[in-house]
Amino acid sequence: MSQLNGIIASILSDINEAKSKADETSREIAKNYASDQILRYFPVPRISIQNLEVEIKYAVNHVEEKPIQTAQSQKKLDDFVSAFAQETAKEVKKSVERVTRSNELYKGLSSVYPSEAWENEVNSTIKGVLQKSLEGNDPVKSSKLAREGLKKSLPELLPVVKKSNSLAIVPTETGEFQILGLDSSGMSEFVVNEKFADEKVAMNSAKELTKSLKANKVEVAEVKRDTTKKVETASFKAGNRKFDVSIDTKKLGAASSKSFFEKSVSEKAVMLNKGTKAKPKWMGAGAAANISSEEFEDDQTLNDAVEKVMAARLPVFETGVNKILSENKATIIDVNVDSEAISKAKPETISTIKFTLGSQDFTLLEDEDHNTIL
């Protein structure tokens, strides 16, 4: 299939080649004239083309507008991405701060997290993902890559609480982990005082306590009140293991410390022995799967907060990028100059291109500027 650009290039090339061959022929004739005693007084025959008109008919297959990047548009994109990433990182930090200050599962982090250094890391991550998404210069594809990249990258910057129906493993401000006891509504009830340097070790201890709670083999002992710290403490004897726990005195209400802890242990045993429950159908995909009361899963509170910010911010990114890229567009026309294809094309898709070439367009030198050999 011949294309318009190829045809025009071929025509111009053929004109140049024809002129070159004509000049070579004129040179040979000139030599013959110069050596002949009579012909040398005659002008050398040559053809001079002053103007050449070309008309080409073609069928339009497809017309597409594509954004093109110039140095100016690239700078605008870079500046826009930098500003967007910085503003979005601030919004993400505010959202995460609200969670760590209000959600009891994350309060152990609130004094150090999220920090300014963390905000800078979020800023850098967002900027890197967005810059990479724009490499193809395709707004639609860029939006998709940006969403996918941020959904994968941002959760890696979030601390994760792992929780079951009765216990939770939470990160602390020192980078260690603690075990929390949860009530029936998932709120913090008591804290295991021991801090674990490794999440895996904390998980093993939590599973060990869970096993003893389920088997009704947890004994509440050594109940005390610390009036200075305003907390109630106790020891949970679970097999050969002892867990020192504490609660805020305010949570007791009218109950005694011992009865509170014993009730907590008893309720957890009941909850754990309910076994598994099926997800309701309205939960959608995977609804048939069972949820074990002993299973520890990632809490999604922080991730949901971040996704909410990104859901509001990404349309701003898409609009800004589209605006910048729309300022510089190239129209790409896919055409067909094949005679058979043109005969079958719809009349409204057929067009004609006409152009005129002057002598200066296909000659390198003006002949009159040079002396003849005769």
pLDDT, position 51: 79
Taking 60 as the threshold, does the pLDDT of residue 363 lie above it? no
Closest of 117, 119, 128, 130 to residue 96, by C-alpha: 119
CATH class given for the domain over 162-295: mainly beta
Which of residues 2 and 245 earns the better pLDDT score? 245
Spatial distance between the Cα atoms of 345 and 270, rounded to a whole number of angstroms: 78
Give residue-wise pLDDT tens across range 312-354.
999 999 999 988 887 776 777 778 877 888 888 888 888 888 8
The residues spanned by each domain of the chain are 4-67+337-369, 71-159+300-326, 162-295
Give residue-wise pLDDT tens across range 192-201.
999 999 999 9
Eight-class DSSP state of 286: T
For 20-39, what is the mean pLDDT?
Answer: 87
pLDDT, position 275: 63
pLDDT, position 115: 94
b (16+ CB within 10 A) / e for 334-368: ebbbeeeeeeebeeeeeeeeeeebeeeeeeeeeee
* pTM, rounded to two decimals: 0.67
pLDDT, position 67: 66
- Kindly give, in sequence order, each residue whose CB lies less than 8 Å from that of residue 89, ignoring residues fewer than 6 positions away: 119, 120, 122, 123, 126
For 98-106, what is the mean pLDDT?
Answer: 91
Taking 60 as the threshold, does the pLDDT of residue 371 lie above it? no
Taking 60 as the threshold, does the pLDDT of residue 242 lie above it? yes
pLDDT, position 296: 92
Closest of 112, 138, 125 to residue 321, by C-alpha: 138
Closest of 298, 306, 296, 259 to residue 92, by C-alpha: 306
Taking 70 as the threshold, does the pLDDT of residue 277 lie above it? no
Taking 70 as the threshold, does the pLDDT of residue 142 lie above it? yes
Give the pairing of strands 162-163 and 297-298: antiparallel
Which of residues 86 and 288 earns the better pLDDT score? 86
pLDDT, position 1: 40
pLDDT, position 320: 93
Taking 70 as the threshold, does the pLDDT of residue 2 lie above it? no
**Where residue 73 falls among pLDDT bands split at 50, 70, 90?**
confident
What are the φ/ψ torsions at residue 94 (nearest 5 degrees)?
Answer: -60, -45
Mean pLDDT value across the chain: 85
Taking 60 as the threshold, does the pLDDT of residue 366 lie above it? no
DSSP per-residue codes, 211-276:
HHHHTT-EEEEEEEEETTTTEEEEEEEETTEEEEEEEEGGGGTTS-HHHHHHHHHHHHHHHHTT-E
Give residue-wise pLDDT tens across range 110-120.
889 999 999 99
Give residue-wise pLDDT tens across range 148-184.
999 999 999 999 999 998 999 999 999 999 999 998 8
**Where residue 4 falls among pLDDT bands split at 50, 70, 90?**
low
**Where residue 21 falls among pLDDT bands split at 50, 70, 90?**
confident
